[in-house]
Chain A
């Protein structure tokens, strides 16, 4: 496939890894922000290609992972209503709430459907006028234009039996939250390529000079990740801290301005709770007031839901780069993708699930702390 196969070339990957070995003189901890990048790194063993000085730590950029347990319980409560057709991206169906996951809710008789695009929900709503169609609108900035368009189109087309349960999160506040932490060990970021395809990277430009932390906007294929790492290592070694763009074939500084306009029409920035981390100010989107008729939380008044997390889980520290999956006593034992205890195990893009799915629970690896 064009623009995919050539970015998986093994020989070029080895050359880039050799170039990183030449460029590095001391230890560096580099965080890939996006869960899709984490998945690629573990799947292709990119971290094994790197010299021991370069440690990749895994970031909070998996929206499925960071959706709060309370929000998942809320989704389940809505999905169980007989008048509701509950639609979701496939990744959310296996994420357990306090009692079971959406597959189990479906097995219990609820009408739960997997959609490929949020626009699919509008077709379902039009063909089921007596039912209430609810879409679980999760995601980062990458997904926000699609979800915003579904709401906008519902209003344009006069579809009234459609609403969204919004749990949208934003990348830059999470990055600065990590850098502000007194325990922070992240020295550079591989920035989220597809988030920046939508948003551009101007909003990231104040971060490197303020914190002395380079950001390299990076793609998702092995060659992208290795080139992004090389660019980050070069900045670190040269004492530079700026935003660079590795993913030039898909990202420019301004991003997709039409998509940004649609986000601004439908959503506004709000505080959001992140599973494993807690509330981060101004780190998410909610529907603007004028779209409250499409807000599932307004339509189905469920009141406050409290859902305690297992005390043993260290996913908050994994999401912020302080720990690796192997540092958790429950990893691969009590906690597996089949029985996840926390954020980083619930989705294939979570660091713990990626490590488990590619067999890393079977081998002893150095802990995050042990390597520095």
Chain B
């Protein structure tokens, strides 16, 4: 009698611990689907498994602290550049605005991150980025935090010419980065970013990886 009680006392917690361990394992080894494939000419690299964004302190266009937690819950498109950029950055911002005007794509986050916080103050970013679309988010902050984020997501850049001259160029990676609603990097979309290509790529990724 006492023996059976002892046994059942051990079995029940044992099962409970096993179930718990199983649940914990399942939680961490979330099954990553086979990477979505695109034709080479589309210039899309799917990041599989996705990369969790680092916890960096950035500043938004109103000078308020911005945490990347704030982008969660929706898909996001990020572009890294600088406002003294005459060709590529305005072209990309205009392309992102075109995409934002297409059905179903207005509810994504459109985020511009400056690689040049020395010249791009929140005021400058607000005026420049929100000129293209008032719903866009423009992020800056200190170079260290920006560098940590850029490095984590694979955005390389270099400052050319004399940084003291106020007339320097920033050469940079020009892909649009797509983050899932869990705030993880899911894809690099290389230029050109025509509206037809962007609509197709974004739709495929959203459908495949879900909301």
Partners in one complex: no
A interface residues, Cβ below 8 angstroms from B: none
